[in-house]
A = this chain, B = another copy of it.
Amino acid sequence: MDTRTPHIAGRIPGRIFVPGRSASLSSRIVDEVRAALFDKKFQPGDFLGTEHDLAQHYGVSRIVARDALRTLEALGIVEIKMGKGGGARIARGNPRLFAEALAVQLDLAGVTAAEILDAQRAIECLGAELAAENATEEDIAKLRALVAEAEANIDDVPRYTRLSRDFHLAVAEASHNRVLVVQLISIDHVSWPKRNPTLTPDVTRKVLDVHKDLLKLIETRDNAGARRLMDEHVKMIRARRVPERERKRKTEEGCC
């Protein structure tokens, strides 16, 4: 299915504009490709055509085709290569990159800490449960390494925070459910503070202990126990984080 024959979806009928609804030419091409994708007319790796192909096929200039490809590229739908044999192909998905994009959107929409942390609880609880069921030896080794590294850097707050986040992500990855991973990434970017001022050594220690316990439950395949512990853990995080963000929001309002 990887021929050089450009198989483009349909045809835009000439350049007839419906009176009131004249979207840009490039957006029409984008729409058509997306529709074809949803209808399973394309598979990852399929050749879509070169700029010139698209321009000719839709009867538009190369710039328009370019614009459409820029958009499709940004949407993660196509990959573009230069040089001989180059052109646009349907991309293999990269949901992780997109999770970050979704994070930007959630941020712009101004979701509250409570919303994020509720969702985080739902996702991470299931993640822990499935991790206990599906984790491989490699997954567990990675979790062990992360816990050890966190313990060694318990006084380096920024690093410890990062390692702690990595642990949570590694648990989700151990569930072997890509949807959960992606959803966790998308909220992590919004949720985790760059600096964590209220992180006292006392709290740090407690968090590390919980992570150790969780790792043990995953090792012993205690899915119910893992879920329960993660539930408590995220609730604790929530209890600490929500008032923190509320305060921040208030001071920001106050200062402007």
Contacts and interface: CB of A to CB of B under 8 A. Distances in A.
B109 A180 contact: no
A197 to B, nearest CB: 16
A148 interface: no
A186 to B, nearest CB: 8
Interface residues of A, number: 53
Given A98-B101, A99-B102, A111 B77 contact: no
Contact of A177 (B90, B91, B105, B118): B118
A205 interface: no
A98 B92 contact: no
Contact of A122 (B26, B63, B110, B125): B125
A155 to B, nearest CB: 26
Contacts of A98: 101-102, 105
Interface stretch (A4-12, A68-76, A210-218, A238-246): A68-76
Chain A interface main SS type:
helix
Contacts of A183: 119, 183, 186
A70 B74 contact: yes
Contact of A95 (B71, B94, B102): B102
A75 B93 contact: no
Contacts of A187: 179
A116 B179 contact: yes
Interface in A156-183: 177-180, 182-183
Nearest to A68: B70
A125 to B, nearest CB: 7
A178 B108 CA distance: 12
B115 A177 contact: yes
6 contacts: A44-B108, A102-B102, A118-B130, A122-B123, A183-B183, A183-B186
